[in-house]
Chain A
Amino acid sequence: MKEETLESAAPQKKRRYIGEAVRRAEDIQLLDGRGGFLADLATPDTAEVCIVRSTHAHAIVHAIRKERALASPGVIAVLTANDLDFVDDKLPCVDMIPGTLDVRHRIIARDRVRYAGQAVALVVAANRYLAEDAAALVEIDYEVLPAVLDHKAAIEPGASLLYPELGTNVVYQVRQRDGNPDFVPEQGDIVLRKRFEFHRQTAVPLESRGVIAKVIDNGERLHVGSCTQLPQVLRATIVNALGLDPRQVRVTAPRLGGGFGCKEMVYPEELLLPVVARKLNRPVRWLEDRRESFAATTHAREETIDAELVVTKDGEATGLRLRGCCSIGAAFGFVGNTPITAMGAMVRGPYAIPNLDSDLCSVVTNKTPLNVLRGAGAPQATIVIERLLDEAARILKIDRAEIRRRNLIQPDELPLDRGATEFAGAYHVIYDEADYPRCLEEALCVANYKTFESERRVALESGKLLGLGITMYVEITAVGPYETSRVALRTDGSVLLYSSILPVGQGSETTQRQCIAEELGIEIDQVSVRQGDTDEVPDGIGTFASRGAAAGGAAGRTAARALVQQILEAFAAEFSCDPAALRWEGGGIIVPDSSEFIALAEVPGKLAQLRGTSDLVAFEAKSRIEIPKPSFSYATHIAIVEIDPETGRISIPRYVVTHDCGRIINPMLVDGQIVGGAVQGIGEVLRENLVYSPDGNLQTCAMMDYVLPGVSDAPREFIITHMETPTGFNPFGVRGVGEGGTIGAFGAMACAVADALRDYEIGVEGSGPFTPSWVLEVLNRPQTNATATNGS
């Protein structure tokens, strides 16, 4: 039986887009090579900028001589800090939590450089070739100072100081506690102690950064195009730095060729180019080349964590203690302290572990500033907790899955306040609805966990070492504090969404169109999206922290509801009835006591007709939703790795993810995020590594040296299963999905590699990287009798 027989006026076809694998409309342009990335934009009469960067990690700048550079062909200007005026030359840091020492990044070095790659001067020339020629002729007198490269040494007394006026290299300390932080082991407990080293990495979006700046509107305004995840924040920073009125600045962010967090930053070039465009009164462009990208785009992950886990003889983990420090580089990134606050806040994942005592600090070093990278501090956290649980299981002779079962938070214990505050400066971590035990069991089943040991024995016969790693995590997503949206019904009957969520590859155009089409009950083709222009969306938070679909989607749907309400009120006024008497269904208005149905596209004309005018009527509704509590996604990752002892190469025959991101908007895109995120994480632990020379110059500044995962590194079989537990913390039940793949891959891979090498002493724990040469070195060590090792 049809439910809608009474509403026969409405179209019978039920519109349903949420949950559908809707193909991406944005693919069409991208597949035609018309992606419209920043470097693709036509820029006639635009001069090119080349940044002169510090060649020393730590030095005093005594003099800069630019005469030879100025005489070079095609040069328009050579500028240093002395030529450029800023009202405020500090770049924003969003997590400068109270108690943090101010080491915000300065736009351009004045008298001291603190990392190799820091901007010291810039050359403007007719093209990039000529600009580079001249940049090589800028002469800088440096007085080289000792470089502080090792964060552990940086906190020792007598260490050289990056900021002598602060008297310390420790710029932030965070203590996160839950339960009884003074816990001690009880009779019969075991205590595991491990040091974890996490190596320095970087995002390497295939599109590096770029900025175009020009003066527009007869010199009244500035237009800045930038590869940024944060156009609204950038606009505010430009306004501040240049002392302008907000109306004088328009920032546009075109489609991004990947971001992964490194474009969640306001960079020096984004302030330098606008000031130069104004000073020279001509358009200027800077495109980052790959070499400078490695040194000048933010890094991530580097930290050392000493962990202590107390476990009862039955395998119940009762207390976790962390001490450690993070090498944040020479100054704050936009997100400087979150790597350590995320570690303390999220390290226990879905495991109860009632007592937490985490005391971590951010340390400045003469390296490129640290920022978030897909997963923030959470990927490292999975390695800490999962390796400790594996070790406890080995010592207590408890099955690895079983020890996890015994520690999981149960569904009826949720929501649960996890105590550890200070995360991202504001959030109290309160887990929402979830079923962690089911998430574990489902993944174990799909991964053939029960028969893995026999699979391993078979592989051993052909000389291959198999290893299995289990990781579970809980990921903070959809962070606030708020998000805005604007939905317009235009006079031609089409719907336009203005969104502050940017296209970075995640498919936000499509998911947001799905949300609006679902909410209005119309065809998705009727909805288009505009993103990334601060003239159109002056206020908004932006695209990071797995928040686009949940926060942006909710804001869009809320605006769409407000749009419907406006339309109903307008018609009610014409019909002289209560708006509540009109119903919105099937993509239009059902007029009571008549067979009339007014489809959304007909609204502008119908309303004009009712009003007896020829002026078609447009509508526009805005929303601003507050997001007081983030929601949490979670998953189980199981990696099965295979080591070839001949070559030391690690490959991945099978990788399993059981994932819960709440209500799924588009399963195709969710799976795409999970696989892509996992392979990024796999690459980070197998290959990627930023290496500095002893004097502090980056040695890995090309893709030939900093090796990204390729086709042959991807798992040969990748299986994803979904749970779909709506969260009560989001009005539409949606949790975020962008980062989880990377988070889980860290723990799963580290555990799987350790398991494959179970008969060997693997040495220092952490993120590796587990390169072939590392594997061969481990295999050449004398075999241990693994069961005899005492971890306490």
Chain B
Amino acid sequence: MIQTGGEYDFSCWEGSDEPRAELEVTVNGKRIQTAVPVRLLLSDFLRDHLGLTALKVSCGEGACGTCTVIIDGEAARSCTLLAVQTDGSEIVTLEGLNHGADSNNLRRLFQEHHALQCGYCTPGWLISAHCMIERRIDPHSDEAGGYLSGHLCRCTGYKNICSAIHEALLLANTAAAGEKE
């Protein structure tokens, strides 16, 4: 079940002698300390118990990229990690991305390029694109290809997603170059 208030609550595990482990993580800047069932997936912890539903679960095996979040500064799949594996980590979901210039540009460009249709895969792309921008990745590099090939989209045929992200990277890289001068 998805909690309403965004507060974590494990009442749906009551009555089972499920093994639990202590977990201490920072999610979107908020420190969380709780005991979670050991087998609880990170994606379920974030969505069902913290109410952070921007990330989506689709393939459940790390193939599609819809569940991507940022763990300790790098894009990572939340559906193939147990919550307890992230003990001590800092996690950022789409809800926690600051609405700074880069982030706003990215959203604007996705809309202008019609880079989303059903929008189910979109949060995952935005997370990876955000990481690419943070790292000032050259849009034509193999590394950029690596990020892009980690996501599936069933609607758009990719053309518009790639052009939106390329433009966002060029904008960010140009702005960064301008700051240096």
Which residues of A does B touch, CB under 8 Å? 23-24, 26-28, 30-35, 37, 39-46, 48, 73-74, 126-127, 129-130, 204-208, 255-258, 260, 285, 289-291, 503-507, 668-669, 671-672, 675-680, 702-704, 708, 710-712, 714-715, 718, 741
**Contact between A505 and B60, CB atoms less than 8 A apart:** no
CA distance A126 to B149 in the complex (A): 37
CB distance from B151 to the nearest CB of A (A): 8
**Contact between A679 and B157, CB atoms less than 8 A apart:** yes
A206-B152, A290-B58, A669-B114 are known contacts. Are A30 and B119 too (CB-CB below 8 A)? yes
A33-B53, A35-B120, A130-B16 are known contacts. Are A43 and B60 too (CB-CB below 8 A)? no
CA distance A441 to B13 in the complex (A): 65
Q: Does B81 contact A (CB under 8 A)?
A: no
Q: Does B2 contact A (CB under 8 A)?
A: yes
**Interface on chain A toward B: helix, strand, loop, or mixed SS?**
loop
**Contact between A505 and B53, CB atoms less than 8 A apart:** no
Q: Looking across the interface, which residue of chain B has its beta carbon closest to that of A507? A: B117
CA distance A669 to B111 in the complex (A): 12
CB distance from B3 to the nearest CB of A (A): 7
7 other A-B residue contacts (CB within 8 Å) besides A258-B154, A672-B160, A714-B158: A126-B15, A205-B154, A258-B155, A675-B157, A679-B156, A711-B148, A711-B158
Residues of chain A lying within 8 A (CB to CB) of residue B55: 33
**Contact between B117 and A505, CB atoms less than 8 A apart:** yes
Residues of chain A lying within 8 A (CB to CB) of residue B40: 129
**Contact between B117 and A39, CB atoms less than 8 A apart:** no
**Contact between B110 and A27, CB atoms less than 8 A apart:** yes
Residues of chain A lying within 8 A (CB to CB) of residue B64: 206, 703, 708
**Contact between A260 and B154, CB atoms less than 8 A apart:** yes
Residues of chain A lying within 8 A (CB to CB) of residue B57: 39
CB distance from B27 to the nearest CB of A (A): 14
Q: Looking across the interface, which residue of chain B has its beta carbon closest to that of A30? A: B119
Residues B1-22 near A (CB distance < 8 A): 1-4, 12-18
**Contact between A23 and B111, CB atoms less than 8 A apart:** yes
A35-B119, A73-B17, A506-B117 are known contacts. Are A675 and B39 too (CB-CB below 8 A)? no
Residues of chain B lying within 8 A (CB to CB) of residue A256: 118
CB distance from A115 to the nearest CB of B (A): 22
**Contact between A711 and B1, CB atoms less than 8 A apart:** no
Nearest first, the 6 closest Cβ-Cβ pairs linking A and B are A33-B54, A505-B118, A257-B120, A30-B119, A679-B157, A73-B16
A27-B111, A676-B156 are known contacts. Are A42 and B117 too (CB-CB below 8 A)? no
Q: Looking across the interface, which residue of chain B has its beta carbon closest to that of A72? A: B16
Q: Does B61 contact A (CB under 8 A)?
A: yes
Residues of chain A lying within 8 A (CB to CB) of residue B119: 26-27, 30-31, 35, 255, 257, 505
**Contact between A46 and B1, CB atoms less than 8 A apart:** yes
Which residue from A33, A37, A703 sits with its C-beta under 8 Å from B95? A33
CB distance from B73 to the nearest CB of A (A): 20
**Contact between A703 and B66, CB atoms less than 8 A apart:** no
**Contact between B63 and A704, CB atoms less than 8 A apart:** yes
Residues of chain A lying within 8 A (CB to CB) of residue B94: 32-33
Q: Contact mask B82-94 → A, CB, 8 Å, 1/0?
A: 0000000000011
**Contact between B1 and A43, CB atoms less than 8 A apart:** yes
CA distance A34 to B55 in the complex (A): 10
A44-B4, A676-B117 are known contacts. Are A712 and B12 too (CB-CB below 8 A)? no
**Contact between B118 and A257, CB atoms less than 8 A apart:** yes
CB distance from A525 to the nearest CB of B (A): 15
CB distance from A690 to the nearest CB of B (A): 16
**Contact between B152 and A710, CB atoms less than 8 A apart:** yes
Q: Looking across the interface, which residue of chain A has its beta carbon closest to that of B160? A: A672
CB distance from B168 to the nearest CB of A (A): 12
Q: Looking across the interface, which residue of chain A has its beta carbon closest to that of B95? A: A33
Residues of chain A lying within 8 A (CB to CB) of residue B157: 675-680, 714, 718, 741
Q: Looking across the interface, which residue of chain B has its beta carbon closest to that of A31? A: B107
**Contact between B2 and A31, CB atoms less than 8 A apart:** no
**Contact between B154 and A42, CB atoms less than 8 A apart:** no
A34-B54, A714-B157 are known contacts. Are A206 and B120 too (CB-CB below 8 A)? yes
CB distance from B149 to the nearest CB of A (A): 5
**Contact between B13 and A74, CB atoms less than 8 A apart:** yes
